[in-house]
Amino acid sequence: MPESVAPLIKIVLESYQLSEAGIHGVAHWARVLENGLRLAETTGTNVEIVKLFAVLHGSRRLNDGHDPEHGPRAAEFARALHNDVFHLSDHDFGLLHRACAGHTHERTHPDITIQTCWDADRLDLGRVGMQPHPSRLCTEIAKQVQTINWAHGRGSMGYVPEFVRDAWGAIAFDENPTRMILLQLRDKSTHQFVHPTGACDQSSRNQSKNATCRIARDWFSVFIATRCQPAKVMVAWSGCRIRPRT
């Protein structure tokens, strides 16, 4: 099912300003997609919207840090691609546009499809050392401990779903037994390799480097989240941290 957005992935990456292997890159999109599909089994939402949101919501980021306008930019990027690269009804496209535009700063929304999209994204906070908190989630299924633990485990370990390599054309490899890191993306049509930072200017490279340093500092959070289970420790540590952008 994730295969259907493979052509969109290729188009998004043509103008993606950051590293595909970064904290907001391809592996994050893939986990958001799988989170969304899992939630949709219960919420019954339109999975096409969920898949498109996963790939598009962070596609117009200009840095890996504070970029509050990347949601509205993604929504307008989606509008430019609508009825050309992908097709939705006007109603469904309105939901996708709203989900992209508001995912950075709105807590919840009355529509269950938009809620599912936002939860799918927020459940992947483990990649930056944060455990998703039920109060920041919208749907009942996302707030369940089993859902949070499942998604948090994948996010915190940098899990890369199989379809990223098989269907999306990205090459992933295991640097150590627990963490897979995307290094190169392959253009399936030409079989040429594109270095993840090859299309970035110096500014973007510096931003990616800063994000990498931030992740390195966050390893203490990951250690607490994965090794020290007492809830009080988690709450105390989480309270000291600035909530990262999704």
Q: Residues interacting with Fe ion, by CB under 5 A?
A: 58, 121, 246
CB environment 93-123: b (16+ within 10 A), e (fewer): bebbbbbbbbbbeeeebebbbbbbbbbbbbb
Residue 126 C-beta: closest distance to Fe ion, Å: 12
Strand partners, 193: 186
User: Toward Fe ion, which CB reaches closer, 54 or 192?
Assistant: 54
3-state percent breakdown (helix, strand, coil) of the chain, nearest 5: 55, 10, 35
Amino acid at 179: R
Which lies closer to Fe ion via its Cβ, residue 55 or residue 232?
55
Query: How far is 222 from 224, CA to CA, in rounded Å?
Result: 5
Q: Which residue, 138, 150, 161, is CA-closest to 27?
A: 161
d(CA 19, CA 177): 23
Closer by beta carbon to Fe ion, 133 or else 186: 133
The token pair at 131 is 């455990």
What is the number of the residue whose Cβ is closest to Fe ion? Answer: 121
Least separation in angstroms between residue 90's CB and Fe ion is: 25
Closer CB to Fe ion, 19 or 246, in the complex: 246
| Closer residue to Fe ion in complex, CB, 68/177 | 68
Report, in Å, the least distance between residue 103 CB and Fe ion. 7
